[in-house]
Chains A and B, each alone.
Chain A
């Protein structure tokens, strides 16, 4: 994956800013995608191209358990979210729906940089600046779920938690 970064380096971007509660009562992915992050940046859904990367600060996705938050981000075309830290439910939900998320404590990524992510080895590369950043290692259980493409496929494959 080598794609363009969209950076919002503030902390505590909550699930209401990712997808407001008023839009969550739906199963329509394109509706979710069209409102993603609109209270943070009304232009966001128009700027994103398929495969792009979202970069945020600490505690990204705090608040609600709504899985619509990672679903909306994924449906908008984002291929991976890089944050300093994630709120725990968001982190888990993202993995479960097959949206890769990776924690990088220290980096120098700016909007427009070309980024690639190696999830298995926990390395984020910035091709614009010629730098690499070390990510926090994910528990094996999560890598297994992500590799299966999410929890639905994991359970279809294994029939149970293994």
Chain B
């Protein structure tokens, strides 16, 4: 049987060989829910008669979406999570520890070849380490907390082959924005994506996470990045697709001449080369989200901002991916460079990406953001305009007061 990576991982977890289109009941290696999804998951878990989770080592809760609590309603939901975690003896990452997907990979809750459910749509991020990460809602998550299993339809796979070397100041973010445009917001709906090719070989883990993360912006069930060249801090076995595996579609891109890419309001598929929007006045710059605020992203911003001052009319808000990332950036001087340039640091977490708190734009304001979504109202105000870009473009634009190339 010639199998894709998805078919291989799901077969192992179903205990029988499966192919695209099959419905399978699978064992799950781990689950995670956030403060946006845990409360309903806990409610559903109780309603199902849940007294204890199937394996307390395999369930994590993360307070990252509205953290620290902006009001008493959220504070009480956080308390509900803490009480549940304590009762079930499961891991809870509290305020400031980081963004859920960063924490799952950083602390090896998810490992290569795992099948992992996250009650968050960016769970495909784990494809960066060859794990099958699926975003689900609260009730699905509750069912898995109870049973250790879920049901799924084995997805067809779209293969994306990337060749060529990215130019200076062009990053994995530009690449994935370009790909979201090519495939469209629904281009991979119900399907998996495999990213492969020469370009991947030299990518850092952080950059691979950017690709996998935003595969959800094409509707993908998961986004698996070829493990060629992947380095982790523990030994692992890479999963490779069989030579004659069957793909729904194949794309080939030479990306060596790719320009920095920008998603214009109000959709991540509304992507243009930066040249088309150069000079667009901005008021607010944000570096954050599960897509782009790891150490290499802070480094790329610091490279642009070193020794300079932000444009007077612009505020730059940064939410590092995790406390670990923040501490590393503190140690190597990156935080000082960014702070001296005028950046404001907020809690490690989702921050303003999800529109709950910590930096909602005003009516008519233009935002340049390193996050993954710019849906109308996404950052908390439907009358703001959000542009998405790489962290380097965010930093350069914060200096200039308008969209510019670094």
A residues contacting B by CB (< 8 A) are 11-12, 14-17, 20-22, 24-27, 39, 58-59, 62-68, 70-71, 85, 87-89, 92-93, 96-97, 139-141, 150-152, 155-156, 160-161
Contact = CB atoms under 8 A, between A and B. Distances in A.
Of A22, A26, A140, most buried by chain B (CB within 10 Å of CB) is A22
B221 A66 contact: no
B36 A25 contact: yes
B137 A65 contact: yes
Contacts of B123: 65
A85 B355 CA distance: 27
A96 to B, nearest CB: 4
A59 B120 CA distance: 18
Interface in B164-182: none
29 contacts: A11-B186, A12-B186, A17-B376, A20-B377, A20-B380, A21-B378, A24-B36, A25-B65, A25-B73, A25-B74, A25-B77, A26-B73, A27-B77, A39-B377, A62-B219, A63-B375, A64-B120, A66-B37, A67-B37, A85-B189, A92-B137, A93-B139, A139-B23, A152-B47, A155-B48, A155-B49, A155-B147, A160-B149, A161-B150
A64 B375 CA distance: 11
A69 to B, nearest CB: 9
Given A21-B380, A89-B137, A97-B139, A65 B119 contact: yes
B317 to A, nearest CB: 17
Interface string B37-79: 1011001100111000000000000000110000001100100
Given A20-B377, A88-B221, 10 more contacts: A25-B36, A25-B77, A27-B40, A27-B43, A39-B382, A88-B219, A139-B23, A140-B23, A152-B48, A155-B146
Interface of B: 23, 25, 35-37, 39-40, 43-44, 47-49, 65-66, 73-74, 77, 118-121, 123, 135-140, 142-143, 146-147, 149-151, 153, 185-186, 189-190, 219, 221, 267, 269, 354-356, 360, 373, 375-378, 380, 382
A59 B183 CA distance: 13
Contacts of B119: 65
Nearest to B147: A160
A156 B49 contact: yes
A87 B36 contact: no
Contacts of B73: 25-26
B36 to A, nearest CB: 6
A89 B221 CA distance: 8
Contacts of A17: 375-377
A65 B37 contact: yes
